[in-house]
Amino acid sequence: MKIYLSATDHIDKLTKIGIAISAEKNIDEFFELVLEEAIHYSNADAGSLYTVSDDKKFLDFQFVCTLSKNIRLGRADISRWPSVPLYEKNGNKNLKNFVSYVFHTKESTHIDDVYNQDIFDNSGTKKYDSANNYHSKSMVAIPLKNHENEVLGVIQLINSIDHHFEIVPFNKEHITMLTSLASQAAIALTNKKLIKGLENLLYQFIKVIASAIDKKSKFTGGHIARVANLTELITHKIQKDNKYFKNVRFSDVDIQEISMAGWMHDFGKITTPVYIMDKATKLETIFDRIELIKTRYELLKLILENEKISNKDNSSKKSIEKTLSQLEEDWVFLQKTNKEPEFLKKEDIDRIERIFQFNYEYRGKKYFLISENEKNNLSIQKGTLLNEEMEKMRDHVMVTHDMLSQLSFPVKFKNVPLYASSHHEKLNGKGYPFKLTEEKMPLQSRIIAVADIFESLTASDRPYKKGKTLSETLKILAHTARDNEIDKDILTLLLDSGLFLKYAKENLKPEQIDDVEIEKIKAIYG
């Protein structure tokens, strides 16, 4: 049996309702709360809450409730219910439907008996009543208007019940108080839409900047997006199936925060020189300086051949021929070394030093093959970057942290700067920039770290290496897990859940997707 409240109690309850409506974060529960309070407040038996569609052409069902039938349907349950058109095919306002009529008039309207009125076409009501063994009689609809008098939705209530459980008309008190409730709901809904809009704008801005950073390099386009995608896959897997992390439960806000950090993890690369990011060979700067060496080689070769022709002394000719032969061999070696990203042997470094020391004097001028700077670059033992260039490359994570720390993130996203900037940290404390240890490195950062390594190893668009196969990549990850650099549990999740294969099918070349012996890989770090 319903309890009837005094005017003072109504006002007190209305105040509490307003607070609850404003505090509710889940939009589905928000709609449910608004409608339930409207039903309870007016002693109605049933009701529906509609919101205006994004294109402003329809009223979409958000929540439906009929107490006598024990019906409570949210957005997911009524997603296929037909929306109410706000306009007819000829473009005129649809005034035949009760809720669309209230939308256009922007005024609360009540009907004592829907079967005996001329405000709207009641054929739809009759059809619903017949199909559900129900009898609609009294009805009221209240527009949800924002501060600009724009209608955001409509609350429709059916059959107000009196003390004797008889259906009675909705009275002026109901309409006054329901209008106040609708006003509070409209303000709360406006705020939610504003906040959601700002969050969407922030996300769009983040993705645009991430895309611009990816496009900064002609080789690494898509890196940020792929890392963000894999980060989201891992996060959702942890959330959906907590057998991998039994004590971890991410909220929707947590998932948003991790995703945002994934998209922003390389923001600092906006300050990284392109020639470093795109350094495909050891001698590359704005251009590949192997071409300069080629010019010197061809000039030296021409000088030596001329010397050989003009020199009549056989021993001198043989010496020149030997120099020419050595020059040819050195030129072939330098071309290979320039493109060699793998570990350089000591004897190769010694040979580079010898080539640097070589010079040939001709007509009072000395000619050489490589300069000191070129020697230093060619002597890089692994990869294509000098130590100072590597440090500049590593700077991007600190720049990421500094840039993001200056932004006024909402409190719920306060950890984005830390998560985004710690993807090069290692659990053993040997990472950078903060040398975080296992105890201080959040799970969110660990997820992005694994995603970043996995993407980097498999990426086939890098100028200095080929993308590795799945089995090669996972073996490398297994060794890093064994050395306590990455989280073993995240790697196990990747393997056991099949996420590694899902990602591979969407992002890798067919020839990279080879057979993976999961148990053998797990044995490396198990």
Whether residue 364 is found in the same domain as residue 398: no
Average pLDDT for residues 342-352, to the nearest whole number? 88
Residue 472: give its domain's CATH number.
1.10.3210.10
Whether residue 90 is found in the same domain as residue 43: yes
**Per the domain annotation, does 279 fall within a domain?**
no
Q: What is the enclosing helix (H) or strand (E) of 365?
A: strand 365-368
282 CB neighbour count, 10 Å cutoff:
26
Whether residue 149 is found in the same domain as residue 184: yes
Whether residue 261 is found in the same domain as residue 406: yes
| pLDDT-derived band at 3, boundaries 50, 70, 90 | very low
Residue 461 confidence (pLDDT): 62
Residues 6+ apart with CB under 8 A from 277: 216, 217, 219, 220, 269, 393
**Per the domain annotation, does 102 fall within a domain?**
yes
Average pLDDT for residues 261-267, to the nearest whole number? 92
**Per the domain annotation, does 15 fall within a domain?**
yes
**Per the domain annotation, does 345 fall within a domain?**
yes
Average pLDDT for residues 189-210, to the nearest whole number? 82
From 341, 359, 384, give the residue that closes a domain.
384
Average of per-residue pLDDT values in the chain:
88
Whether residue 373 is found in the same domain as residue 445: no
pLDDT tens, position by position, 392-431: 888 999 999 999 999 888 888 999 999 999 999 999 999 9
Whether residue 359 is found in the same domain as residue 492: no
Q: What is the enclosing helix (H) or strand (E) of 493?
A: helix 488-497
Whether residue 228 is found in the same domain as residue 180: no
Judged against a pLDDT cut of 70, whether residue 483 lies above it is answered with yes
| pLDDT-derived band at 16, boundaries 50, 70, 90 | low
**Per the domain annotation, does 202 fall within a domain?**
no
Whether residue 60 is found in the same domain as residue 161: yes
Residue 211 confidence (pLDDT): 82
| pLDDT-derived band at 14, boundaries 50, 70, 90 | low
Overall number of domains in the chain: 3
Residue 116 confidence (pLDDT): 92
Residue 53 confidence (pLDDT): 92
Judged against a pLDDT cut of 50, whether residue 195 lies above it is answered with yes
Counting residues of the chain whose pLDDT is more than 90, the rounded percentage is 56
Whether residue 43 is found in the same domain as residue 140: yes
State the Cα angle at 238 between 237 and 244, rounded to 5°: 110
Whether residue 179 is found in the same domain as residue 91: yes
**Per the domain annotation, does 400 fall within a domain?**
yes
Residue 184: give its domain's CATH number.
3.30.450.40
Average pLDDT for residues 7-36, to the nearest whole number? 69
User: Between 463 and 19, whose confidence is greater?
Assistant: 19
From 320, 351, 384, give the residue that closes a domain.
384
Residues 6+ apart with CB under 8 A from 142: 38, 102, 108, 154, 155, 157, 175, 178, 179, 181, 182
Residue 2 confidence (pLDDT): 45
Compute the distance between CA of residue 214 and CA of residue 519 in angstroms, rounded to an integer. Answer: 35
Whether residue 40 is found in the same domain as residue 11: yes
**Per the domain annotation, does 281 fall within a domain?**
no
Judged against a pLDDT cut of 50, whether residue 511 lies above it is answered with yes
Give the CA count within 13 Å in the CB-facing half-sphere of 145: 17
Whether residue 258 is found in the same domain as residue 180: no
pLDDT tens, position by position, 48-99: 999 999 899 999 999 999 999 999 988 878 878 889 999 999 999 999 999 9
Residue 15 confidence (pLDDT): 66
pLDDT tens, position by position, 220-238: 668 899 999 999 999 999 9
Average pLDDT for residues 16-37, to the nearest whole number? 73
Average pLDDT for residues 138-148, to the nearest whole number? 92
User: Between 200 and 452, whose confidence is greater?
Assistant: 452
From 164, 195, 226, give the residue that closes a domain.
195
CB 29 within 8 A of CB 76: no
What's the domain range around 461?
217-273+392-525
Compute the distance between CA of residue 457 and CA of residue 495 in angstroms, rounded to an integer. Answer: 16
Tokens representing 130? 């017949």
315 CB neighbour count, 10 Å cutoff:
8
HEC sequence for 66-130 = EHHHCEEECCCCCCCCCCEECECCCCCECCCCHHHHHHHHCCCEEECCCCCCCCCCCHHHHHHHH
Counting residues of the chain whose pLDDT is more than 70, the rounded percentage is 93
CB 428 within 8 A of CB 484: yes
| pLDDT-derived band at 1, boundaries 50, 70, 90 | very low
Residue 231 confidence (pLDDT): 96
| pLDDT-derived band at 17, boundaries 50, 70, 90 | low
**Per the domain annotation, does 200 fall within a domain?**
no
pLDDT tens, position by position, 99-137: 999 999 999 999 999 999 988 888 888 988 998 899 999
Compute the distance between CA of residue 216 and CA of residue 210 in angstroms, rounded to an integer. Answer: 10
Judged against a pLDDT cut of 80, whether residue 22 lies above it is answered with no
Residue 6 confidence (pLDDT): 53
